[in-house]
Amino acid sequence: MVELGALPEDCIAHILSLTTPLDAARSAAVSRAFRTASDSDAVWRNFLPPDLDLIVSTSSPPPFGPSLTRKKDVFLRLCSDPLLIDSGRKSFALEKWSGKKCYMVGARDLSIVWGNTPSSWRWSSFHVSRFPEVAELIRVRWLEVHAKMETRLLSADTYYAAYFIFKFVHGNY
Amino acid sequence: MSSSPPPSSAAASPSCPKKMIALRSSDGETFEIEEAAALQSKTLENMIDEDCAGTPIPLPNVTGKILAKVVEFCSKHAEPGVDDESLRAWDAEFVNVEQATVFDYILAANFLEIPTLLNLTCNVVADMIRGKTPDEIRKFFNIKSIFSPEEEEEVRRENHWAFE
């Protein structure tokens, strides 16, 4: 009678690739066979977005050095270190539990009404931001900011939430 | 009446009689399967291309009990005119079996390279694994771990984010 533990590693890997990144990583602690299967490229290739090469091609310098040969390491890197893409206008990362794509749209990629009026908005670099430029609100009577995202860039079959990220400068209001 | 083409690549021309392929299980039982159904197995597809004599193809890795079910699966999936919803329901019934049988199906699907069956059966096991801790997985599947305490510690450290 066959037991799960006796299945060949590529079968275990196939099974794990149908779970989630969290389940796959956790199951490494089940047994040696599970550990090898769970670390294999067959599993993590499935969790990486199929269009990853295309996305990464717009990032410079190339983000993955020769040390990142395992797909698992590529996955984990993308979860912890957002990648600047699209000429530094957006950042891209993966959500660790699910492998879904996350994006952040930089200020330069937003449509800010009166954004080019120096008395209303000032553009500068800010060391805390991952983007080369941030927009600082000086004074407006009309605050309107638009962001646009092509849905084809997103992960399929996924609910997304959009967040507006801003920082108050101490004492300025 | 329109029929949907079978998922496998070849379609027999309507004027030719359906070619039957003979298979022999590890315990000596023989089964006949239509060529269109057999072509769902990449392993069989390769063997059919090579074989001309028509002698039963020996499958030493698959018992008669399991081969019968595999033939049933492939035949169903080669049937024209089955809508997706019915097929899904049929598939769900097909894998509604005890754990050990699912593993036998996985081994057979892996050996015979039948992607549809492999995905179906692996998904059943994936559903059982999702959300469980390593201990729960071991208990559920009766897996004995031979990790030393140091090894287990190392694995948990390497994957610490999954254990937080």
Q: What is the pLDDT of residues B11-45, one digit of tens each?
A: 555 555 678 899 999 999 999 999 999 999 999 98
List residues of chain B with CB under 8 Å from any CB of chain A.
99-100, 103-104, 106-107, 110, 118-119, 122-123, 125-126, 129-134, 137-138, 141-147, 151-152, 155-156, 158-159, 161-163
Domain membership of residue A1 (yes or no) is yes
The tens-digit pLDDT sequence of chain A (173 residues) is 567 778 899 999 999 999 999 999 999 999 999 999 999 999 999 999 999 888 888 886 667 766 678 999 999 999 999 999 988 899 999 999 889 999 999 999 999 999 999 999 999 998 889 999 999 999 999 999 999 989 999 999 999 999 999 988 877 66
**Which residue, among A2, A4, A73, would best test binding to B if mutated, counting the most B CBs under 10 Å from its CB?**
A4
- Token pair for A141: 């009577």
Domain count, chain A: 1
Domain membership of residue A137 (yes or no) is no
Domain membership of residue A16 (yes or no) is yes
Cis peptide bond prior to B14, omega within 30° of 0: no
Q: What is the pLDDT of residues A76-123, one digit of tens each?
A: 999 999 999 988 899 999 999 889 999 999 999 999 999 999 999 999
- Residue at A86: amino acid letter: D
Domain membership of residue A74 (yes or no) is no
Query: Is residue A4 less than 8 Å (CB to CB) from chain B?
Result: yes
| ipTM for the whole predicted complex goes beyond 0.90 | no
β-pairing, B20-24 vs B57-58, is: parallel
Distance of CA A64 to the CA centre of its chain: 14
| Minimum distance, in Å, between the CA of residue B19 and any CA atom of chain A | 32
In angstroms, rounded to a whole number, what is the distance separating the alpha carbons of residues A97 and A10?
Answer: 23
Cβ atoms of A104 and A165 closer than 8 Å? yes
β-pairing, B20-24 vs B30-34, is: antiparallel
Of B142, B143, B163, the CB nearest to A26: B163
Domain membership of residue A5 (yes or no) is yes
Domain membership of residue A32 (yes or no) is yes
* CB-based contact B143 A29, cutoff 8 Å: no
Buried b (16+ CB within 10 A) or exposed e, B68-90: ebbbebbeebbbeebeeeeeeee
Full residue range of the structural domain in which residue A13 is found: 1-47
- Residue at A97: amino acid letter: W
Domain membership of residue A14 (yes or no) is yes
In angstroms, rounded to a whole number, what is the distance separating the alpha carbons of residues A123 and A24?
Answer: 44
Domain membership of residue A24 (yes or no) is yes
